[in-house]
Amino acid sequence: MTRKIDTDAMDLLTRRKLLASGVAVSGTVLAGCLDPADDDAEPPEDDDDPAADDDDDEPADDDDEAPSGDQLNFTQQVAPIEWDPVVANDAYSGQIYHTIYDGLYEYQPGDLELEPKLAAEMPEVENDGQRFIVELREEPEFHDGTPVTAEDVIHTFTAPVEEETDNMPDVDMIESAEEIDEHTVQFDLEFVYAPFEAITLPSYIVNAEARQEDPEAYNTENPIGSGPYQFVEAEIGEFADVELWEDYWDEPSQVASIRYEPAEDDAGRVARILGQETHLIEGIPPADWDDLDAEEGIEIASVESTGYLYFAFNCAEGPTADPDVRRAIAHCHSTRDYVEDIFGEAAEWTNMSVAPETADAIGMEGIDHFQDMAYEFDPETAQDLLDGSDAIDEDTQIDIIAPPDDVRVNWGELIADRLGEIGYEAGVQRLDWDVFTSSYQSGDSDEFQLYTLGWTGGADPDVYYYQLFHQDNEGLTQGHYYENDEFHDMIIQARETFEDDERAELYNEIQEIIIEDCVHIPGWTDLNAAAYLSDEVEGLQADLQTTTNPRMDHPDVTLL
Amino acid sequence: MSLLRYTVYRLLQAIPVMFGIAVVTFLMVNLAPGDPVDYMISEELASEELIASIEARYGLDEPLWRQFLNYLGFSWFLGLLGVPGFADAPPGLLQGDLGLSMYYDRPVSELMLTRIPPTLMLVLSAYAFALTLAIPLGVVAANRRNKPTDHISRIIALFGVSTPSFWIGIMLIVIFGVWLGILPTGRMVYPWRDPAFYGYGNHLELWYQTLRHLFLPVVALGTLQMAVIMRVERSSMIESLQSEYVQLARAYGVSERTILRKHAFRPSQLPVITLIGLNLTTSLGGAVLIETVFAINGMGRLIVQSIQTLDYQLILGTTIVLGFVFVIGVIITDLAYAYIDPRVTYGEEA
């Protein structure tokens, strides 16, 4: 069976109307979308349109989500996903929830100096560093009006293990957390863990009762903290709103509300600040750093981060098991020149396997000391070392693996090129994260001889040296499988020693061994930064940790 | 066969295709090298206990065949039938459950539901933009073949088909957003939201801002479609205008306007309709890039994020749903084709 169509009727309906409506719609869209600043465009009918007041010289589209009124617009490089610190462990969620919650202790903006926040004073340490007693302030309250008590603190520190959340490794050294009274908590540790005060205690305290009532809602819809801002509403990938909590117990912030919006694309994020559609962006692409810095009306707040980028060798198998081969590879190129060329102001070359600020916090030798120990660019020495090694010949291929990150891949390419120039073969493989991770964790010389990774680090050297070098973490957070009993003992000794001076000495020695045996080629520490509209925002401070960069909870931040 | 029966017949035919899409997608995602847990713990603190906990939470500790049955929802049915070992089996695809996103820790269907409206708005607007420009330009170009109008149209079409949409998007942002400052550089204002959410006084202002925010991404995404449709429209119109029945009409003294309007235009639209249907998924593919460039919170951006974070459940869910959309697009195209062209049968006779 076939079906006939009434062609005459269709003709009447389509052609003329289609053409006419096409012209009309196109014209309307074109005219309607132009900014009122354009003389030929019709302004919107509403006289209250803020755009109508714009100065023609202003390039901004400042009549939509643009900076206006009491709301600060913050553009993030990655979308945040959850609001419960017990569960959340991504830095971009932290950029929001650090305004909603108060920590038991908090770092001062821009450094690693720890100060009590919900705690009344620094903890009392007993039992040779295995017991910490924390007294709480009595005045802090959660956004629902209930006081912050020892029960809330205990829940915050025990829930990650009880619920096996991703934050479990942060607190699993706690043997018990007991309530001494309503405002005092006693922590007993399974072993002496020196970084407990600097790393573990500065946790954000959740409202135990509200959280236990409905953990899922607490994480996604109704987080209740005791911080200067309270959560309003969020749509994942679109926005998250917080507003000032008027009954905040401590010195309040001065911005009435903050809207966080993600823009993952670097160019799009930079365009937003150049177009003045947002008050600030974080995650400044190195290539755009100088241009943004030179732009009138835009300033960059920056501080060295606790991050650390490095190359690690396969120390267990293959040609790089020979320390001379590792030293030769370090000599055959200049990491310092690479970092300076690629990053300029946006990162600092380092020859330490720990962030300089973190090293400084416990009194380790400074960055200059270890920079003096760096393997200088010296192709002749590199060639001599390689020629003299039995572990490698000119037919040996050095396999370098890197995650999908251009900067790290290019660093690998530089090493491969330089090795090629002195007659040794090397190749770089750019791998997806999952494949990359399983490859470097294997420690198999058929998979790699060098891998490059980054580490977000933290406020204590143990976070770097134990996680990135100790044999307990072979196949997990380290894949170099470096063997040196004395070295591993020193790492444990440092984490179980309570005196900073002793720890600093131990870490200095550990760092020197890392350099001498060339386990890592340290790369750089990048800057945590935020570009902001200097005519509209004042008092903004960058912070060392991405989670709190910039410090939006700080009372100095003001919208002009 | 009636149109209704033909429609039902085509829908039934689609079921095994959709099942095939689900099976192939599941196998491709799971047999690819890599482990999503490795991604989750990369550059983070990790322990054996944590890894085991993550694997158990997302069912990754089960053998692949069991994960397959779980995902499709067969395990749930086996549980209903009382088969041992399947008593607590979770619902799956057949029960409308697309699983739990490993990265977002939320149901995949919930994530997708919030992302579909922005993508629909973008893609449909891009199509509206493409059609309103492409069809008139194609008709005019064909009617004035080898004249300046035709040459200009062909240059526009050549530019459109040979320029990546994301590049057009970035250029539009730079020119209109940064240099001229007359249009927003990204994000979207949704007409279904309360104007107060954006700080607008009324709905008129909201809609006006929606148009302003939509303009650049629509041009960036719609340019390719516009160029492709215009080229097909032009060549199809030229073919019609050279056909015997048009020459006969001319011989009878029918005016060129009437020939163009009544005799050439209609039959020329069949290839265009086919193209529109089949290009639906191409547009969704383009939306992936455009949504990323313009920071629009749609399905395209969700797909990119799911791949970047190796979120198995989300990759599966988005891929399968897009596959279903493609199948449905093909069916609608077939039905429209059969409805419009009298020469197309419903399958019973020539």
Task: Report how far residue A372's alpha carbon sits from residue A351's, in angstroms, rounded to the nearest whole number.
Answer: 9
pLDDT of A1: 36
| Side chain identity at residue A164, one-letter code | E
In A, minimum Cα distance to B174 occurs at: A271
On chain A, the residues whose CB falls within 8 A of the CB of B43 are: 453-456
User: Model confidence at B43, in pLDDT bands (50, 70, 90)?
Assistant: low
pLDDT of residue A457: 86
Which ranges constitute the DSSP H helices of chain B?
3-31, 36-41, 48-57, 64-72, 74-80, 108-143, 148-162, 165-172, 195-198, 203-241, 244-251, 256-258, 265-278, 280-293, 299-308, 312-340
Which chain A residues in 455-484 lie under 8 Å from chain B, judged by CB atoms? 455-456, 467, 476-477
Instruction: Please tell me the predicted confidence (pLDDT) of residue B342.
Output: 65
Round to whole Å and give the CA distance between B333 and A346: 53
Is the predicted pLDDT of residue A44 greater than 50, yes or no? Answer: no
Question: Tokens at residue B55, please?
Answer: 């694997």
ipTM for the complex shown = 0.77
What are B121-131's pLDDT values in tens digits?
Answer: 999 999 999 99
Q: Do B184 and A271 touch (CB under 8 A)?
A: no
In this structure, the number of other CB atoms found within 10 A of the CB of residue B249 comes to 18
**Residue from B107, B9, B16, B111 nearest B323 by CA:** B16
Question: Does A560 have pLDDT greater than 60?
Answer: yes
By C-alpha distance, which of A301, A310, A342 is closest to A479?
A310
- Please name the member of B47, B114, B261 whose beta carbon is closest to the beta carbon of A15: B261
**pLDDT over threshold 90, residue B273:** no
Q: Which residue of A has its CA nearest to B39?
A: A434
Whether A110 has a pLDDT exceeding 50, the answer reads: yes
Looking at the complex, does the CB of residue A16 fall below 8 Å from at least one CB of chain B?
A: yes
Label residue A250 by pLDDT band (50, 70, 90).
Answer: very high
Which pLDDT score, from 0 to 100, does residue A267 have?
86
Classified as helix, coil or strand, A22 is helix
A218 touches chain B (CB under 8 A): no
* Residue scoring higher pLDDT (B219 or A35): B219
pLDDT of residue A61: 42
Q: How far is CA A59 from CA A43, A51, B83, B185, in A?
A: 17, 11, 67, 11
Please report, as a single letter, which amino acid is at residue B190. Y
- Taking CB atoms within 8 Å and a gap of at least 24, the contacts of A359-363 are A359/A461, A359/A507, A360/A112, A361/A112, A361/A113, A361/A198, A361/A459, A361/A460, A362/A460, A362/A461, A362/A500, A362/A503, A362/A504, A362/A507, A363/A500, A363/A501, A363/A504
Contact B34 A435 (CB under 8 A): yes
**Hey, what amino acid is at A107?**
Y
Q: Is the pLDDT confidence value at A292 over 70?
A: yes
Most confident of A12-21, B52-61, B180-189: B180-189
Q: Which residues of B286-318 are buried (b: 16+ CB within 10 A; e: fewer)?
A: bbbbbbbbbbbbbbbbbbbbbeebbbbbbbbbb
Mutation site, B178, B269, B296, interface A, largest A CB count within 10 A: B178
Q: Does A454 touch chain B (CB under 8 A)?
A: yes
Mean per-residue pLDDT of chain A: 86
Q: CATH classification of B108-308, choosing from 3.30.420.40, 3.40.462.10, 1.20.1250.20, 1.10.3720.10?
A: 1.10.3720.10
Look at residue B228 in the predicted model and tell me its pLDDT: 92
Q: How much is the CA Rg of chain A, to the nearest whole Å?
A: 28
8 Å CB contact of B38 and A434: yes
d(CA A179, CA A153): 9
- pLDDT band at B51, cuts 50/70/90? confident
Which residue stretches of A214-257 are H helix? 215-220
Cβ neighbours of residue A134 closer than 8 Å, sequence gap 6 or more: A104, A119, A123, A124, A153, A184, A185, A186, A187, A201
Q: Where are the alpha helices (DSSP H) in B252-279?
A: 256-258, 265-278
Give how far the C-alpha of residue A499 lies from the chain's centroid of Cα atoms, to the nearest Å: 29
* Helix H or strand E segment including A15: helix A7-33
Interface of B with A in 309-338 (CB under 8 A): 310, 338
Query: In this predicted model, what pLDDT tens digit does every residue of A59-74 receive, in sequence order?
Result: 344 444 444 458 999 9
With beta carbons under 8 A apart, name residues in chain B contacting A37. 181-182
| Res B31: pLDDT | 79
> Mean pLDDT, to the nearest integer, of B193-207?
91
Interchain contact B9–A (C-beta under 8 A): no
Residues of A in contact with B293 (CB under 8 A): 265, 267-268
- Could you give phi then psi for residue A124, rounded to 5 degrees? -90, 125
Give how far B180 is from chain A: nearest CA, Å: 6
State how far the Cα of B325 lies from the Cα of A311, in Å rounded to an integer.
45
Strands A450-455 and A397-402, by their bridges, are parallel
Domain with CATH 1.10.3720.10 in chain B: 108-308
Assess whether pLDDT exceeds 80 at residue A349: yes
The confidence score (pLDDT) of residue A376 equals: 93
What confidence tens digit (pLDDT) does each residue in A117-152 have? 999 999 999 998 899 999 999 999 999 999 999 999
Task: Indicate yes or no: CB of A64 within 8 angstroms of CB of B213.
Answer: yes
Of the partner residues B35, B186, B304, the one whose CB lies closest to the CB of residue A268: B186
> Given CB atoms, is B8 within the 8 Å cutoff of chain A?
no
Closest residue on chain B to A241 (Cα) = B197
Give the count of alpha carbons within 13 A of A317, CB side only. Answer: 11
User: Rounded mean pLDDT of A519-536?
Assistant: 93
CA–CA dist A553, A294 (Å, integer): 28
Identify all chain A residues contacting B139, using CB atoms and an 8 Å cutoff.
19
State pLDDT tens for residues A472-482: 888 888 999 99
Lookup: tokens for B41: 């713990």
pTM of the model: 0.79
Model confidence pLDDT, tens digit, residues A429-468: 998 777 888 889 889 999 999 999 988 888 999 999 998 9
Nearest of A217, A251, A231 to residue A140 by alpha carbon: A251
What percentage of chain B has pLDDT greater than the value 70? 93
For residue A137, give the DSSP letter: P
Least confident of A188-192, A237-241, B189-193, B279-283: B279-283
Contacts of A33 in chain B (CB under 8 A): 183, 211-212, 214-215
Residue A64: what pLDDT? 43
Nearest-by-CA chain B residue for A235 = B114
Residue A164 and residue B49 in contact, taking contact as beta carbons nearer than 8 Å: yes
Judge whether residue B44 has pLDDT over 70: no
User: What are the structural domains, with CATH classification, of chain A?
Assistant: 102-214 (3.90.76.10)
Asked if B347 reaches chain A (Cβ–Cβ under 8 Å), the answer is no
As a whole number of angstroms, the distance between CA B223 and CA B133 comes to 10
CA distances to A291, A558, B182, B187, B288 from A295, rounded to whole Å, are 6, 21, 19, 23, 31
DSSP A201: S
SS3 for A42-79 is CCCCCCCCHHHHCCCCCCCCCCCCCCECCEEEEEECCC
Q: Are A366 and A297 in contact (CB under 8 A)?
A: no
Q: Closest by alpha carbon to B246, among B226, B229, B232, B267?
A: B267
Could you read off the pLDDT of A154-179 as tens digits, one per residue?
999 999 999 988 888 889 899 999 99
> For the segment B228-263, what is each residue's pLDDT rounded down to a tens digit?
999 999 999 999 999 998 889 989 888 888 888 888
Express each pLDDT in A73-90 by its tens digit: 999 998 898 999 999 878
Q: What distance separates the 2 farthest-apart alpha carbons in chain B? A: 87
* Res B282 pLDDT > 90: no
B101 touches chain A (CB under 8 A): no
Which residues in chain A are contacts of B41 at CB distance < 8 A?
437, 476
State residue A230 phi and psi, 5-degree precision: -115, 150
pLDDT at B348: 52
Interface of B with A in 198-217 (CB under 8 A): 198-202, 204-205, 208-209, 211-215
**Torsion on CA atoms A84, A86, A90, A92, rounded to nearest 10:** 30
Sign of the torsion formed by the C-alpha atoms of A35, A36, A41 and A45: positive
pLDDT at A321: 95
3-class secondary-structure state, position A488: helix
Q: What is the mean pLDDT of chain B?
A: 86
What is the average per-residue pLDDT within A341-366? 90
DSSP state of A265: S
Residues 247-276 of B with CB under 8 A from A: 261-262, 265-266
Q: Is A57 exposed, middle or buried (0-12, 13-18, 19+ CB in 10 A)?
A: exposed
Across the interface, whether the CB atoms of A169 and B50 are under 8 A apart is answered yes
Q: Is the pLDDT of residue A254 over 60?
A: yes
- Judged against a pLDDT cut of 80, whether residue B33 lies above it is answered with no
Chain-chain contact of B33 with A435 (C-beta, under 8 angstroms): yes
pLDDT at B310: 78
Closest residue on chain A to B203 (Cα): A46
Could you give the percent of chain A with pLDDT greater than 70? 88
Report the pLDDT value the prediction gives residue B344, as an integer from 0 to 100: 65
